[in-house]
Amino acid sequence: MNFQDYFKNKKVTLMRIGLLGRGVGDAAFLAEMGAEVLVVDDASQEVMQPSVDALQEYDNIKFKFGPYDTDDFTSCDFVLVGAGTPMDLPALAAAKKAGVVLKQSAALFAELSGVPIIGVTGTRGKSTTTHMIHHVLSQATDGQVLLGGNVRGLSNLQLLKEVKEDSLAVMELDSWQLQGFGWAKISPQVAVFTNFMEDHLNYYQAGGRSREEAMDLYFGDKANIFRYQEESGVLVTIPAVFERAKKLAGLTLGQEVVLVDDSVIPEDTLLAMPGQHNRLNAALACEALRATGLEDEEIFAGLASFPGVEGRLEYLGEIEGVKIYNDNNATTPQATVMGLQAVGNIDTKNVILIAGGAYKEVDPQVLVDEIPKYCKQVILLAGTGTDMLKDRIETEVVGSVEEAVKAGLASGQPGDILLFSPGFASFGMFKNEYERNDEFVSIIRSLE
């Protein structure tokens, strides 16, 4: 497709541009293709100025900050909706009533590129599984393998420039990006759904919804990864997700369904990433790769050389005999539990855990129960989630990542594990989870 023909002279309202580079890249692409772009964000211009500065060369991009103006959503050709936009936002309701199409950049990439897509979602494990699949395909095939979706700093619309005739895309898709697939009524040809747990309830419970209603909405968004698959499609998932999927109203599962457990991966298979949950991630990746036609020899060779993913039980080395793991992207208590089980030792209680952050309406009791089994010390970063945890375990609360690291290492002995696995969201102390990640890594590097 000639993308310039598609976008030229279209009026596009782009909302929630953010500061991570994705929205900036989308806006730049639209402007380069000749669209008239209006960027709207309910944050202040002072906060969003870095994104404004990054786009100052484009005369066909305008900006409006503060409360949304309904007219901006009803007088355009389509609205490009940013992640985390409230479902019941009046401006979006007005757009729908006026017949204005809502789009999301990952789904728009899927629509316009026309390339086969392996999509991966799930509450936990989606990043690792996505990168595993991408790594193996990149090693085993001669064609171009694109990586997209929920990838740090990556604009999915900019990715359209890289599409070739033999391209295949592997996309990590969060629940917000899958809202866009639902609006477009499309699903990836191969869909991987790793698991389903409580998360983002602060978003889905907005408007007074019950926890059960919120979980249904959350699963409904996730389900768009397979909801519109054709009979030639493949859904790779675990039995618990499949059972929940069968209960979705009006859904017929006519595609091939492959149910997975970690027995798919032979016990003697070497993986760089620790933990039983990563063996399950590898099993899911394996079945998705088989669906593309790869042979087991190619798949297992690729999995054995997969180095891991930043911020997901990422091994950063040792400091005076203490092994350091960066599990920054563990943003729920259950995810931190998985990290403890992966690197900890119940017999020696050798983990120094740095956790804490902002509450996401996910009960931390599961973490409270597991901490005494693995941890010799717990240090918490300040936040609303920490406030719910600090009186239920023995801990100390500190005001910065640097304080936490120094306190943890001060009590460490050779053979101990320093695990940075927050279990909560980053907002409050940090702009986003990436800033939190970078700060931890920078401090460790400075001490090595």
Domains belonging to the chain, first-starting first, are 9-103 (3.40.50.720), 106-304 (3.40.1190.10), 314-447 (3.90.190.20)
DSSP 8-state code for residue 81:
P
Q: For tokens 């698991």, what's the residue?
A: 195
pTM of the model: 0.90
The token duo for 438 is: 């970078």
The token duo for 60 is: 């066909």
DSSP 8-state code for residue 153:
T
- Cα 87 to Cα 84, 140, 171, 306, 379, distances in angstroms: 8, 41, 23, 37, 36
Which ranges of the chain have pLDDT less than 70? none
Provide the pLDDT for residue 448.
81
Q: Are strands 322-326 and 314-319 parallel, antiparallel or unpaired?
A: antiparallel
Phi, psi dihedral angles at 12 (to 5 degrees): -120, 125
CB 82 within 8 A of CB 18: yes
Provide the pLDDT for residue 5.
94
Q: Taking the alpha carbons of 203, 21, 103, 120 in that order, is the dihedral positive or negative?
A: negative
Give helix then strand counts, H and E, for the chain: 19, 17
Provide the pLDDT for residue 399.
94
